[in-house]
Amino acid sequence: MKNATPFTEAKPNREAQGAVDDGSGRQSLVVGEGASGRLDAWLAAELEPDLSRSRIKALIEAGAVTVNGMAARQARHKISPGDTVELTLPEPEDAEPAGEDIPLDILYEDSDLIVINKQAGLVVHPGAGNWTGTLVNALIHHCGDSLSGIGGVRRPGIVHRLDRDTTGVMVVAKNDLAHRHLAEQFADHGLTGPLERAYQAIVWGKPQGLRGTINASLGRARDRIRRAVREDNGDDVRHAVTHYLVCERYDEKPDSTAAASLVECRLETGRTHQIRVHMAHIGHPLIGDAEYGGGFRTKANRLPEQVRDIVTAFPRQALHAFLLVFEHPASGETLRFTAPLPDDMEHLRRALASL
């Protein structure tokens, strides 16, 4: 198995005079000579990387920023040399989702982030039909006061997701700085940094060739949840590329066909249900995937009874995120995390390997 706007932009002044933090979350700065433009842009340049421009804009609109003792109220407020700007950071608000004592398999944790091996059946974020019992609820309970706030709310920063029934490695940010840094890495898809994501999937049949690339854009199907390969230019259509490597073949025949295969998939992009849709698109859907591979269920009838019973009873898509590599947002160190196949997928793999 392989492990494989009409106003000008503010001109930053790195020598803002009298920058003071009195320990209460309030900072006082004096606009230096030569600085001009919008208040939000100037503050973002002075305070990076601690606060994003969007966060500063929200603080301005909430009345947390004053210029010469008067609340600014508008992000486009124009600054002038000699202005005294004060910004007060409120205490992070409690998150709306309540913390819940849900067991977590924690691979790593520090003051900036937490890495977990997500179990099957765990929804990542609260939403319609899943307001409780999610990973976010579990992390709010586990992390407590170590969450310094994402956008002013004491909550974990989700930068990528796994489907409810997909297992494996996930990283979650604990503060704004880590959230922005990690989000940028995932948006870059590893093109200029160390980010790597690799999955193991057990699929029906054997893909053509031991290696391959699936380059097929994805968009919504007929409902808001399912995705499909789309060739049109709809607003929801996104470029998607998956690279696969066939690691094991089960019950391989002389004509090079096989009952099933263990495949390693690496993402060049990260779209909803990408691996599941791409593998089904090339005729090799994931075992257990009712959404995209339901038409292949009868293939289990051709298997010996003991193996057939294990395959038909497998309750989810056979997909596991076994590898995640990324750059630590504070130290710059490249971190690598792996998680072995969960017990249910290993049991399925062993049954198929016995053919």
User: What are the CA-CA distances from residue 259 to residues 167, 221, 251, 271, 341 (Å)?
Assistant: 23, 28, 6, 28, 20
Q: Name the catalytic one among 40, 112, 163, 165.
A: 163
What backbone phi and psi angles, to 5 degrees, belong to 309?
-65, -40
Q: How many CB atoms lie within 10 A of CB 22?
A: 8
Any catalytic annotation for residue 163? yes
Q: Which amino acid is at 31?
A: V
**DSSP H or E segment with residue 169:** strand 167-173
Secondary structure of residue 202 in the 3-state scheme: strand
* C-alpha radius of gyration, the chain, whole number: 25
Q: Is 63 exposed, middle or buried (0-12, 13-18, 19+ CB in 10 A)?
A: exposed
What backbone phi and psi angles, to 5 degrees, belong to 280?
-65, -35
Q: Which residues are catalytic, by number?
A: 163
